[in-house]
Structure 1
């Protein structure tokens, strides 16, 4: 039996293609990009895990090995894989339908969901079904993401206010928030509003301010992207210093320190049957969101994305998440743009980011004990509101009344 040549291997392991001509300058660009994305990804990963109803550490676990898997099998040089808001919301909804109350079983269901999603995506890639994405209605997908952004932001208001609120639909959430509004914890509200306002300002105002001080653009960009980490550090110190945990401010608490655990999906036929349709929906939505971002960024540098190989890349990433204590992942819009803008030249930047997250999981988790959940909620709100795009209604109206009706209904 003959061994496969390099060209054949490159079709299945795209990182081999990108490795050709890898220079010191390329390495520097990838490492700098990895540092910036790591700084951004740590608070996001924690926040999105809580959004999915999972322990915060599972967000970190889902941001390590999946990045390495995508770096090996994916075709985008800039796509950053990990937990994202929409998929986290879909994960929470899927597991909520199972009626599970035990946290260990809930986590096991999320791991199984990641495995199913990974298996579906990988099979689709092997059978070259990437072309099916062309038949999906992009206005409907855009409407779905916008609606999800509104729903996610609303669901996080309870953490900003420090109250209890239930509901899976917007009317249910708003009604519950209004009913519990008198119970607002003023300390939590102060932290949540301050963190949200700061994160909104940091997106537009921090970098220009740093540039006015004479700081170099690259360093200013890194510090601006570190805004969420600064919010986490300051609010954690405030809660610790003033003992606000004893005054009703909800905190993250103990986050396990160490390497991601080796886990296995529950291959229970009844559980698989219940999770298969949600896993299929997560796979489709995740693939469409991911490949759209990858193609947009690749076009800016006249690079090429292979949809069939992207399916394999995302599939192996989800399988990697399932065997290391994570939950479903996909390519994130915000962090991929940051990765691109920071100068990532090859998928190796993702592998370097994984190393950064791994170091955080090994060394930094004890520092997160007093982190207020209001800060994580602020991180989610600021991130998802950037996905809300009502202009799609105007564009759809001008293009097609049928598309407008589909977007509006979605």
Structure 2
């Protein structure tokens, strides 16, 4: 593949596009479009924006991702967690419903897009690996609980606010007496129906003899049925006059051309929230894309995903949208509906554009309680409390990180929660590498294998100490290694040689090099030689640019067995069976 085609994946899959692929993509686009109309409206309201912003954010961004993205089935648009983060960030600089609020959302989308695109050009997709899955799962779980709790006020038909769970619950308690019975009936009914659609509608249709394909389409269209039924109910019975809050007038037409506000004061406030949205959005998107790609034995390019998501967010900022990313639910639906290429996303954008042109007048009497029900049912699928049980059983350190992320997000809000999550991910990495596993090893009799003396019956020599280092050496763990070695050799007068087995050492930074030099001087002062074995080529190349090897009191051995033979004079007989570690 040429570098140009790599930057524009459409040049790759577009060459083999066929009539059969077109049919599959069109069917998937139809199903996803039906799903996205109510979902886009709901997520725009969740972000504190007019409902049409959700549709606008699902048109040009999808097309741009189809041009630049590497996933064949990822569906880009507003998602629950990013919409919540948008509301939290923009709410700091403007009041919801004002022109300044909408302009700030555009600026947030542009900043996020520029950051993602720049990261893609710099090939920084690997940075997503620094966010541990347990911490991200904890954050998304907490965000799902926050989103669902925040929508309860629309189900009840009461006023309320709050960015944290205590604030939300306190507001609901204060206004519970203002509950509108009609709104509650609509909201609770829509919620129950949508839960039934997810679990029971398809089996019920199949039991009635409905073809599987038709049952799938009708199940995916469940939210549309809820929207249509409740809208007709409110219109037909005049329930808006009885206090049922409706969406109201939704502008009819294609997305407008908009210009983000780039005033320095606004940009400086939104810079950090944009970075956090970029990180969380990218991690969520690439996780979904990798999962779906693996099902089809395909691959995605994280760096290209950064470019695709960056272009999508930039497009959203100039077409009246809000920050977007790849959504789990819509992407799974897109894949299950048979999408073969990103062209399905482009066809979805066309469908949404037609909806914006022709269907928006029909949404005037759509109850906000129905959209709240759509959000609640969608986000509760993100809540994964099993992660607490799993991490408790596997690693107390991971459990503490997950629990802390959940509690901080619920108690202090989304931005603080994601910041803590990022910090905890980095801290976990440092904790896991700052005290590397170092095993004292000996020779397995009859073989050339070396294993931990505390786990296997091995041969050792009283004058030789062999330590296998199971981690790369860098500034955070070098001193730990030095202290551990000095503690081990103290009080052992028979030792004459120490061998560091470096088979698992992928790199040695300058701080670690200085520590090794200091260790060598300490050992030399005690009459002990320092040797290395099984040093990897890239590590050896780096060491040869220094004078460390010239000052080394011992030798560098190609294998640990060579070192054992040379330093002890012993030679083991080969074994007929390999030894399992």
TM tier, shorter chain?
A: over 0.9
Pairwise CA RMSD: 0.9
1:174 is matched with 169
What does residue 293 of structure 2 align with?
298
Q: For the structure 1 residues 102 and 342, does the alpha-carbon distance in structure 2 shift closer, same or farther, using more than 3 Å as the test?
A: closer
Which residue is equivalent to 1:199? 194
Query: CA–CA distance in 2 between the matches of 1:78 and 1:242?
Result: 42
2:89 is the counterpart of 1:106: no
Residue 130, structure 1, aligned to residue 125, structure 2: yes
Deviates more, 1:13-22 or 1:138-147: 13-22
C-alpha distance in structure 1 between counterparts of 2:335 and 2:244, whole Å: 37
Cα distance, 1:253 vs. partner? Answer: 0.3
* Match status 1:213 vs 2:203: no
Counterparts of 1:192 and 1:267, CA distance in 2: 39
Question: Structure 1: how far apart are the matches of 2:394 and 2:314?
Answer: 40
| Residue 63 of structure 1: aligned partner | 58
Please give the alpha-carbon distance, in whole angstroms, between the structure 2 residues aligned to 1:17 and 1:102. Answer: 43
Matched residue, 1:394 = 389
SS of the counterpart of 1:156? helix
Distance 1:18 1:214 in 2: 38
Where do 1:83-162 residues align within 5 Å?
83-100=78-95, 103-162=98-157
* 1:25 partnered with 2:20: yes
Structure holding more strand per residue: 2
Does the alignment pair 1:229 with 2:200? no
Paired with 1:256 and 1:54, the residues of 2 have a C-alpha distance of: 13
Structure 1 residue 210 displacement after superposition: 1.4
CA distance in 2, matches of 1:298, 1:177: 42
Unaligned runs of 5+ in 1: 1-5
Q: TM-score with structure 1 length normalisation?
A: 0.98
| 1:269 paired to 2:269 | no
The reply on whether 1:289 has 2:284 as its aligned counterpart is yes
Contact between 2:89 and 2:270, CA under 8 Å: does it hold in 1? yes
Match of residue 377 from structure 1? 372
Measured after TM superposition, the shift of residue 31 of structure 1 is 0.6
Q: Specify the SS of the correspondent of 1:94.
A: helix
Report the counterpart of residue 359 of structure 2 in structure 1: 364
> Partners of 2:96 and 2:362 in 1: how far apart?
28
User: Matches of 2:95 and 2:171 in 1, distance apart?
Assistant: 22
Runs (4 or more) in structure 1 with deviation over 6 Å come to none
In structure 2, the residue matched to 1:406 is: 401
- Cα separation, 2, equivalents of 1:8 and 1:167: 48
Matched, 1:336 2:331: yes
d(CA) in 1 for partners of 2:370, 2:95: 27
Equivalent residue, structure 1, for 2:424: none
Partner of 1:188: 183
Could you tell me how far apart the structure 2 residues matched to 1:95 and 1:391 are?
Answer: 32
Q: Does 1:76 align with 2:45?
A: no
What are the superposed Cα offsets for residues 35-92 of structure 1, whole Å, 9 maximum, x if unpaired?
1110111100000000000000000000000000000000001100000000000000
Partner of 2:234: 239
Aligned partners of 1:102, 1:70: CA distance in 2, in Å?
Answer: 29
Q: Does structure 1 conserve the Cα–Cα contact (< 8 Å) formed by 2:75 and 2:327?
A: yes
CA distance in 1, matches of 2:359, 2:347: 17
Q: Tell me, in whole angstroms, the C-alpha distance in 1 between the residues paired with 2:94 and 2:337.
A: 43
Alpha-carbon separation, structure 2, partners of 1:101 and 1:48: 14
Give how far 1:7 is off: 2.1
Measured after TM superposition, the shift of residue 218 of structure 1 is 1.1
1:13-51 CA distance string (max 9 Å, x none): 111211232111111111111111101111000000000
Query: For the Cα contact (< 8 Å) 2:49–2:97, is it kept in 1?
Result: no
Q: Which moved more, 1:12-21 or 1:250-259?
A: 12-21
Q: Do the aligned partners of 2:61 and 2:316 also contact (CA within 8 Å) in 1?
A: yes
1:340-380 Cα offsets, whole Å, 9 max, x none, are: 11111001100000001000000000000000000000000
Query: Quick check: which one's helix share is greater?
Result: 1
Q: Which structure's relative contact order is higher, taking Cα pairs within 8 Å and 6+ residues apart?
A: 1
Which structure would you say has the larger Rg? Answer: 2
Aligned residues: 405
1:178, 1:233 → 2: CA distance? 31
**Does 1:350 pair with 2:345?**
yes
Q: Which runs of 5+ in 2 are unaligned?
A: 406-581
Moved more, 22-31 or 323-332: 22-31
**Equivalent in the alignment of 2:37:** 42
Mapped to 2, the partners of 1:220 and 1:101 lie a distance apart of 40
